[in-house]
Amino acid sequence: MAFLQKVIMKKLIPFLWSFTVILLIDIVLISVPELWSYRILSKPLVVGSILVFFLIQNTDKVSKKLVSSALVCSIIGDIILIYARVSEPIFIFGVLAFLIGHIFYAIQFARSRNKEVGIKAPLFVLLGYALALFWYLSDSLNNLAIPVAIYIVVLMVMILYAYVRDDSLTNNSYIYILAGSLLFMLSDSILAITKFKSEIPYSRILVMGIYGLAQLLMIIGIIKGNLITDTETL
């Protein structure tokens, strides 16, 4: 186990440097409107780099398929949302891509569910947050009310499954995944409020920075969880 942890850490450190540089480049491009067109290159690389890092790890076949599918959906959504200002249907397709990605993540998290953990308390909290956010946005959603409502529900389901995962796994896998899923919710909330309701200062920077960190934490958590599972079977 210690040997496998050293192997993954050797891969993780250089990746974190590369990922940080890619994310910072995209954030710089976000900050300068004249450079936004170049984000067609930088934005997909944020999650694309995470996908490459994940694919070279020693994870089980089911996790490989589910998580890779979630990341690919995120990359597609990232690309689509670059052009979301052009028309409403484009935005809907972007939301759909991320929604499907959340479903893949939820299935992955559900695989390690701890059935002894109750869902009533987290469900109540998540439902309250979802209703409050939707109510706040509702008068500005117009034709997008139903797609946004469905997206919020799926996002909350993903977070719920992240919460009820088995936390007996060591190496902080549980904490990484739960923190990442909550950050994903925060990023999406800022994006939704800015798009439909009112501008939040530095919203574009906040959304991309938090989103990149969310994806990173969830993937590291998944890899760490799989690393321990693989070790136990040796």
Query: What are the structural domain ranges in the chain?
Result: 2-232
How far apart, in whole angstroms, are the C-alpha atoms of residue 48 and residue 40?
A: 12
- Give the contacts of 197 (CB within 8 A, at least 6 positions apart): 136, 137, 140
- Tell which wins on pLDDT, 88 or 213: 213
230 or 133: which carries more pLDDT confidence?
133
Question: What is the distance between the terminal CA atoms of the chain, rounded to a whole angstrom?
Answer: 9
Q: What is the mean pLDDT of residues 152-168?
A: 90
pLDDT above 70 covers a percentage of the chain that reads 89
Cα–Cα distances (Å) from 85 to 137, 149, 224, in that order, read 18, 20, 38
- In this predicted structure, the answer to whether residue 199 has a pLDDT above a threshold of 80 is yes
- What does the pLDDT read at residue 160? 95
The pLDDT of residue 233 is above 80:
no
Please report how the helices 39-55 and 61-82 are oriented relative to each other, as an axis angle in degrees rounded to 10.
180
Provide the greatest CA pair distance for the chain. Answer: 56
Mean per-residue pLDDT, 45-74: 95
59: alpha, beta or left, given left = phi > 0 and alpha = psi -120 to 50? beta
Please check whether residue 219 is in contact with residue 67, taking contact to mean a CB–CB distance below 8 angstroms: yes
pLDDT given at position 121: 86
* Residue 6 scores a pLDDT above 90: no
Please give the Cα distance from 15 to 18 (Å, whole number). Answer: 5
Q: How far, in Å, CA of 32 to CA of 27, rounded?
A: 9
Distance CA 58, CA 4 (A): 10
82-130 pLDDT per residue, tens:
887 666 788 889 999 999 999 999 999 999 888 777 788 889 999 999 9
146-182 b/e (C-beta count within 10 Å ≥ 16 → b) = ebbeebbbbbbbbbbbbbbbebebebebbebbbbbbe
More confident residue, 58 or 10: 58
Q: What angle in degrees, to the nearest 10, is found between the helix axes of 61-82 and 88-110?
A: 160
Residue 50: Cβ-neighbour burial (10 angstroms; 0-12, 13-18, 19+): buried
Return the DSSP state at 113.
B
Answer yes or no: are the C-beta atoms of 218 and 177 closer than 8 Å. yes
Count Cα neighbours of 206 within 13 Å in the Cβ-side half-sphere.
Answer: 16
pLDDT band at 17 (very low <50, low <70, confident <90, very high): very high
Return the structure tokens found at 167: 């936390």
pLDDT band at 171 (very low <50, low <70, confident <90, very high): low
At 17 the three-state DSSP class reads helix
